[in-house]
Structure 1
Amino acid sequence: MQERIRLRLDVAYDGTDFSGWAAQPDRRTVAGVLVGALDLVLGAGTATGLTVAGRTDAGVHASGQVCHLDLPAEVWQAHADRLLRRLARLLPPDVRVRAMAPVPTTFDARFSATFRRYEYRVTDAPWGAEPLRRHEILAWPRALDLDRLAAAAAGLVGEHDFAAYCRRKENATTLREVTRLDWRRDADGILVATVQADAFCQAMVRSLVGAMLAVGEGRRPPTWPAGLLTRRERSSEVSVAPAHGLTLVAVGYPEDPAEYLRRAEATRRLRVPVET
């Protein structure tokens, strides 16, 4: 049997013109573009098993996405020194492979992950978003209060059933542990929500942001988002914030490579495939 090696790829992309990560017939996706470039360099079907940490939705960006794939060892040896630069020449400017390196075959970009961290950017400036940043910042038409946003976020931290904020999938759990959720206002006036959890179910991050924005502008009390955690089905009162304000900024993994397999096995036992 031909020896194969596993590669970890660190990927960034502007999600504006992509129909999400996952390959879809007749649609431009990040996975489709990446596989196409790999096929051109290495030969069709040479790279197999492309697996991503988080299957981002259409319009969502990433600066810290992680994926893995498998290659014949001899192919990696032949291309290792120049593969990154060759991909840079072939890939469109809205997606970049920033780094690649061999990892143990027990590494699973999806199931070995210990956390995913997202940032959501909003401006409440009366003139809207700066033109050069309009694809990554949501322009909000009303003033937002940072203290109210922070109070709303505080009640959502911890392990909860986030059914009210998720698009339910059959046999999929909506129990998640949010380890960080906070807001800041940067020097340029942009409001940034940082959301970190072990994993997210589909539309969860943007739903959380949508609920907190309702608090920030004064339409809902700060206790309202946490109060929805008692629900066992998606809340029709929660608006899903637009995709373009959201960026996947980091994915965490065990520091000890010996823990990759144990983490992956534990994650598989806890839940079925997840998206955000």
Structure 2
Amino acid sequence: MSEVQPGHVRIRLDLSYDGTDFHGWAKQAGGKRTVQGEIEDALRTVTRTKDTTYELTVAGRTDAGVHARGQVAHVDLPAELWAEHREKLLKRLAGRLSKDVRVWSLTEAPRGFNARFSAVWRRYAYRVTDNPGGVDPLLRGHVLWHDWPLDVDAMNEAARALLGEHDFAAYCKRREGATTIRTLQELSLARGADGIITATVRADAFCHNMVRSLIGALLFVGDGHRGPEWPGKVLAAGVRDSAVHVVRPHGLTLEEVGYPADELLAARNLEARNKRSLPSAGCC
């Protein structure tokens, strides 16, 4: 829902979670544990509205096992309910929610704000180590172990060919009626002093499995199985390549969501709903 209904107020939630024991963000049939379901249940309990579910809209619907440090969502609450509970709602949620999900702030959203459609970018980090000894046990739920040495320079060279607006069909799991055109704003990798390689991936939006597929392709370059030109060729071909593996989800974290200035929120909300297409290659 885009417009706030009369008598309601839109609340922005900033939150984080460890995705290990969640079946992703979105509610599912069959009683599977999800982040959305957990927060909506807690919200229903602490506001004593057991017969009503106030549904959350999220900036990025993360898959099972994916973590979030800077996730953003919104919920529309009756103004009277918000007025009654606003002062104690955050603390009450902290007492009700499981320890692997936290809501950090609850604020009245500015006019035109939509957690999903007003966003101008999402930034993810994927963490991997090629340490021959494996992953630090304390980080095993957040870092992938790759058992071949990785050339970060070669991976960065390959990443540069993927930047910009493209049809990322070769790196996405297709969904009926959904476009795979995205603008990849940043894709870079750096090795830290601890040996962990962090890939920073930022785009206006992501299609299903896009980040994990891109990382899978770059790992193939980094360990020498493919040359730096290969990910770009896969992109240009526009079809899934069996050599592009979707890497495991636990190395992936949604770090931050970016929004425009308040006066541009409504315009961005409308723009993001338009189905995208690439400019024609023809010329006259």
TM-score range, shorter chain: over 0.9
Match of 2:116 in 1: 110
Question: Which moves more between the two structures, 1-10 or 105-114?
Answer: 1-10
Q: How does 1:242-261 map to 2 (within 5 A)?
A: 242-255=248-261, 257-261=262-266
Q: How far apart are 1:49 and its partner, in Å?
A: 3.6
Instruction: Work out the CA distance in 2 between the residues paired with 1:261 and 1:120.
Output: 31
Fraction of identical pairs, as percent? 53
Q: Contact conserved, 1:152 with 1:215, CA < 8 A, in 2? A: yes
Residue in 2 that maps onto 1:88:
94
Structure 1 runs of 4+ with >4 Å offset: none
Separation in structure 1 between the aligned mates of residue 27 and residue 140 of structure 2, nearest angstrom: 26
2:27 to 13, 20, 23: 23
Q: Distance in 2 between matches of 1:265 and 1:197?
A: 18
TM norm structure 2: 0.92
Name the residue aligned to 1:274: none
Deviation at 1:70, TM superposition (A): 0.7
1:190, 1:118 → 2: CA distance? 16
C-alpha RMSD of matched pairs (Å)? 1.5
Cα distance in 2, alignment partners of residues 56 and 231 from structure 1: 27
The 2-side partners of 1:103 and 1:200 are apart by 24
Q: Which residue of 2 aligns with 1:268?
A: 273
User: 2:151 & 2:96 partners in 1: Cα distance?
Assistant: 45
How many Å apart are 1:46 and its aligned residue?
A: 4.8
Q: Could you say if the C-alpha distance between residues 233 and 88 of structure 1 is closer, same or farther in structure 2, counting changes exceeding 3 Å?
A: same
- 2:125 aligned partner: 119
Q: What residue number does 1:99 align with?
A: 105
Q: Describe the shift of the 1:206–1:74 C-alpha distance in structure 2 as closer, same or farther (beyond 3 A).
A: same
Partner of 2:281: none
- TM-score of the superposition, structure 1-length normalised? 0.95
Other-structure match for 1:232: 238
Q: Match of 2:271, SS?
A: helix
Written as runs of structure 1 = structure 2, the 5 A alignment for 1:113-152 is 113-152=119-158
Render the CA deviation track for 1:187-227: whole Å, top value 9, x for unaligned.
11100000000000000000000000000000000010011
Secondary structure at the counterpart of residue 236 of structure 1: coil
Kept in 1: contact 2:40–2:54 (CA 8 A)? no
Unpaired runs of 5+ residues, structure 2, are 277-284
